[in-house]
Structures are given as C-alpha cells and as structure tokens.
Structure 1
Amino acid sequence: MTAVSSNGEYSFTKPNRESITLLAGLGVEGDVHAGVTVKHRSRVAQDPTQPNLRQVHVIQEELFDELGEAGFRVAAGELGENITSRGVDLLGLPVGALLRVGAEAVVEVTGLRNPCLQIEGFQPGPLKQVVGRDGLGNIVRRAGVMSIVKAGGVVRPGDAITVELPAGPHRPLDRV
C-alpha cells in the first residue's frame, strides 16, 4: 500500500496520514464515512438505515498513472479514498474477497465505487476517465472498491495487502 487517508469532515479529498486505524464493523476511526449505517449524503437522503457497505474506499494507484497519461494530476487521497494500493487487481476481485492489510486489519470487498459528479469539481474531466462503457455498452467503473472492516488494526503506507478469495462461485463486483 502506498498511502492511507482520512477526513473527519465532508470533503471530496482526504489528507494523507502516517497511519489510520480500522475499526471492525465501523470503518476508519475519525473518518466522516465511518459507521454501521450509510454516511454518504445521497444515500442517507434515500434511506439512513441502510447498512454501510462503503466503510473503507480502496483505490488502485495505477489509476493515477492512467489519469496522468490523460493529462490529469491526481495524488493519493485526492479522490476520497482511504487506502491507496499498488499491484493488486482490485477491479478484478469478486464480492466477498478479503484484503488483509498490514499485520491485523481485514476488509471485505463489497463492490465498486460509483464516482459522482463531485469529481468534476475537484478537476474538470476525470469522470469520463473513471466511468465509461465497454464494447457491449455496459458501464465500467474504475474508481476503486468499497469494503467493510472485518478485523480492525492500524495500517500504514508500506504495509502489505494480500488477497483471499471467497469460495466460489464468485459474484462480479457491481456498484455499492
């Protein structure tokens, strides 16, 4: 993992930290999106009692490289993620995959992040880079994965992330 980020206030970006603490069943300690029920404003407006399947946002740093090639400058935390990874095929994981992060923490992948128009306020243009369509016209989301915390612990940049796949058959990720 290359960076960890959190923010106690609603903001599109999240400042990088020396470490973050993942709390089982809640999310990132002190982060505005931590909690048992949904915290994302649009989802709270729909139904504030929904379970929070978006406790921890993990994004692949390789996306920043691709955005850079398209002329955008994006750094860790700037797309609102909590954990920035490198070398893990996040988008290819199935629902229920476990990410072991650092010495103790475990998060369970619940689905794909569905980026919203706020990304255009951060920098005009990248929304079309992170959400598009494949050759069959299906929507393709590339802005990382959302997860819930199964086992807590302190995580830091440089900590390893290992993947444990669930028993099959595997369900492909969809937006959460």
Structure 2
Amino acid sequence: MSGRVTAVSSNGEYSFSKPNRDSIRLLAGLGVEGDVHAGVTVRHRSRVAQDPTRPNLRQVHLMHEELFAELGEAGFEVGPGDLGENITTRGLDLLGLPTGTLLRLGGGAVLEVTGLRNPCQRIDAFRDGLLKQVVGRDQEGNLVRRAGIMSVVREGGVVRPGDAVEVELPSGAHRPLERV
C-alpha cells in the first residue's frame, strides 16, 4: 500500500490553518520543526489545559486530499493546510489504517499512527457547518471522524510534496483508530 504527499504545512504560531511549505523537517520524538504542536508533551491547548504532562500523541497531523473533493461537493472550499494538517496525502485510506501503522515518507522519515483527529468547534469558525461534514454517525449510530489522523515521529527527515508514502502495517491483531 502506498500513496503520495501532495502538500506539507506548518505554523510556529497558534492558528487554525497552516501555510503550505516547500518542505518540512520531522524531528524524532518531537514533530514538525518550528511547528507550534511539536513537543514531547501535549501542545494542543485543550489537552494542555487537561494535563500538560501527557505524552504528545498528536505531533504530526495527516489528512487525505480526497476529503477536500467530498467537502467541495457539499459546498465547502477547503485546501491543503486549511484544516491545520501538516501533511496532505493522496491515494491512501488514512482513516482505515490501524493504530501502530508506520508511514515511511520521502528519504527516510517514519511516522507511527496514533489515532484519529477529534476536531473541535473551531472548525465551524473556519467554515460554518463544516464540523457536521467531518464528524457524523454511520448507519449503526457510531461516531465517525473524518478529519485526518495523528502520528508521532519515529525517525526524522525532510518531507516534500511529491514524496512517496509507504505503509507498513503492524504485526498481530490490528486495533482500529480511536480519537487521540
């Protein structure tokens, strides 16, 4: 299973969206160099308020570009970096990956998938009504989150648009992604 990086984004200041970059550098155990969410412990404001000593399982946010087309069909103009992701991909079922999946990007960077992004109300401040498009219920009434996945950096390296993404599934029984 493989795909491609279509965009990379980072921001050194807290904001909802992140500007696109020519490249980003992933730092092992920390996240995206210079990004406000990089760190060993939690950096997202809501998580810091709960317990600032918890490990940062949300170092790098990935989103599948195919979601943007779906949102466009529903009347929402959204592009890479707009929803705060660091890496936008194409050709991968990110939401279907199990916890612990390794993603090998570009020239040697490795991410470990930790879970699903749990978007907050701020997404509606970006585009009114967008939260209902990325969080909903399936036919059985189960909560479905579609706003990307979170990961930690296992091996650092530079990532650029056009880089390949190779998927290495974990051995043993697969655990579905849960919110982190």
Q: TM-score range by the shorter chain?
A: over 0.9
Whole-angstrom CA distance in 1 between matches of 2:139 and 2:172: 27
1:49 — aligned with what? 53
In the other structure, the counterpart of 1:23 is 27
Structure 2 counterpart of 1:99? 103
Query: Which position in structure 2 is the counterpart of 1:7?
Result: 11
Deviation at 1:135, TM superposition (A): 1.0
2:125 is aligned with what amino acid? G
Distance in 1, Cα, partners of 2:130 & 2:90: 20
1:75 pairs with one of 72, 76, 79:
79
TM-score after normalising by structure 2: 0.97
Equivalent position SS for 1:146: strand
For residues 167 and 148 of structure 2, the distance between their equivalents in structure 1, rounded to whole angstroms, comes to 15
| Residue segments in structure 1 that go unaligned for 5+ positions in a row | none
Q: Which amino acid aligns with 2:145?
A: R
| 1:31 Cα deviation from its structure 2 partner | 0.1
Query: Runs of at least 4 residues of structure 1 off by over 6 A?
Result: none
String of CA shifts for 1:122-168, please: whole Å, max 9, x gaps: 11011101000011111000011000000000000000111000002
Q: For residue 96 of structure 2, what is the amino acid of its counterpart?
A: G
| TM-score scaled by length of structure 1 | 0.99
After TM superposition, the structure 1 = structure 2 runs for residues 27-176 of structure 1, keeping only pairs within 5 Å, are 27-176=31-180
